[in-house]
Amino acid sequence: MLELVKQFVPFLGEVCGSGTEICVYDLSVPEQSLVAVCHPRTGHTPGSPLPQALREVADAGFSAPQDWVTLPPGQGHNADLCCRVCPIGDAAHPAGLLCITRDLSPARELNGALQAVLERFALEQPREAAPALSVPTLTSMMQQRVSDVIREYGIPPARMSVPEKVEVVHRLSESGVMNIKGAVSEIASQLSVSVPTVYRYLNRPAKP
């Protein structure tokens, strides 16, 4: 299970962007727990120990209705980090942790600079409550990735040739997208073909 999740790390890093750190921790070796990382923060390298906050999360376990937790904000330079953690394997006794951390400091700094400009030139508007930051799900990221790959061809799926659709399916398969639950149905829907056709495309060689 850990090896499977590790394969998704580059994909998640590409979808979420460089401001999001993706980490996979192996709980069987807490002193060298970090086994995969993308867009690492300072001090986070493969072989790093399991942070204390994540030790506490693992000890507490995960429970329904959602098998993931949001860590409380940290202090100092960690105050702008938004961190979600989900178990790998059994939620009650996970084999590892998938940790997705967003650094919101650039957004906070930009908002502060914008407010300063508005105030300086008397352009201040009544402030509304800031909407909660949404966290993409694995399904929504998969759907967006399928859409992005198709859009790169600059042709509506209904007008794409069969070789082009075969190439799309192979690209998505090579990036690991097709390992996500529901991905084949999503690809079929966006390419305007049937699910069996997607599998047939996968078995055909892509053009060089």
- 82 and 147 in a single domain? The answer is no
Q: Give the pLDDT of residue 10.
A: 93
Q: Does one domain contain both 83 and 150? A: no
Domain identity same for 15 and 72:
yes
- Confidence class of residue 40 from pLDDT cuts 50, 70 and 90? very high
- 10 and 99 in a single domain? The answer is yes
Q: How far apart are CA 88 and CA 66, in angstroms?
A: 14
Is there a domain that residue 192 lies in?
yes
Flag the least confident range among 1-15, 52-66, 126-140.
126-140
| Residue labelled with tokens 């799309």 | 168
CATH number for the domain that contains residue 85? 3.30.450.40
Of 108, 89, 98, 95, nearest in space to 19 by CA = 108
Q: What is the pLDDT of residue 32?
A: 93
Which spans in the chain are helix H? 2-16, 52-60, 105-120, 138-151, 162-174, 183-191, 195-203
Query: Looking at the structure, do residues 7 and 98 belong to the same domain, yes or no?
Result: yes
- Domain membership of residue 125 (yes or no) is no
Torsion of CA 147, 149, 152, 156, to 10 degrees: -50
Total number of domains constituting the chain = 2
Domain endpoint, select from 82, 105, 128: 105
Do residues 144 and 76 share a domain?
Answer: no
Asked if 18 and 92 sit in the same domain, the reply is yes
Residue 6 sits in the same domain as residue 83: yes
The phi and psi torsions of 142 (rounded to 5 degrees) equal -65, -45
Are 99 and 142 in a shared domain? no
Residue 113 included in any domain: no
198: tokens are 């997607």
Residue 119 included in any domain = no
> pLDDT, tens digit, for every residue of 91-148?
878 899 999 998 887 877 787 788 888 777 777 555 555 555 555 677 888 889 999 9
Tell whether 9 and 99 lie within a shared domain: yes
Do 156 and 84 share a structural domain? no
Query: Rounded to 5 degrees, what are φ and ψ at 14?
Result: -70, -40
Q: Is residue 174 part of a domain?
A: yes
Structural domain includes residue 47:
yes
Asked which of 21-30, 31-40, 178-187 is least confident by mean pLDDT, the reply is 178-187
Question: Residue 154 gets which letter from DSSP?
Answer: T
- Distant-in-sequence contacts of 198-202, Cβ < 8 A, 24+ apart: 198/169, 201/162, 201/165, 201/166, 201/169, 201/170, 202/169, 202/170, 202/173, 202/178
Q: Are residue 88 and residue 163 in the same domain, yes or no?
A: no
Residue by residue, what is the 3-state secondary structure of 41-101? Answer: CCCCCCCCCCCHHHHHHHHHCCECCECCEECCCCCHHHCCEEEEEEEECCCCCCCEEEEEE
pLDDT at res. 177: 86
Q: How confident is the model at residue 77 (pLDDT cuts 50, 70, 90)?
A: low
pLDDT value at position 58? 84
Answering whether pTM is above 0.85, one says: no
Is residue 130 a part of any domain in this protein? no
Long-range contacts at 191-198 (CB < 8 A, ≥ 24 apart): 191/150, 191/157, 191/160, 191/165, 192/157, 192/158, 193/165, 198/169
Quick: pLDDT tens for 9-26: 999 999 988 889 999 999
Domain-embedded: residue 121 = no
206 versus 38: the higher-pLDDT residue is 38
- Which domain does 189 fall in, by range? 138-203
Determine the Cα angle at 104 with ends 46 and 152, to 5°: 80
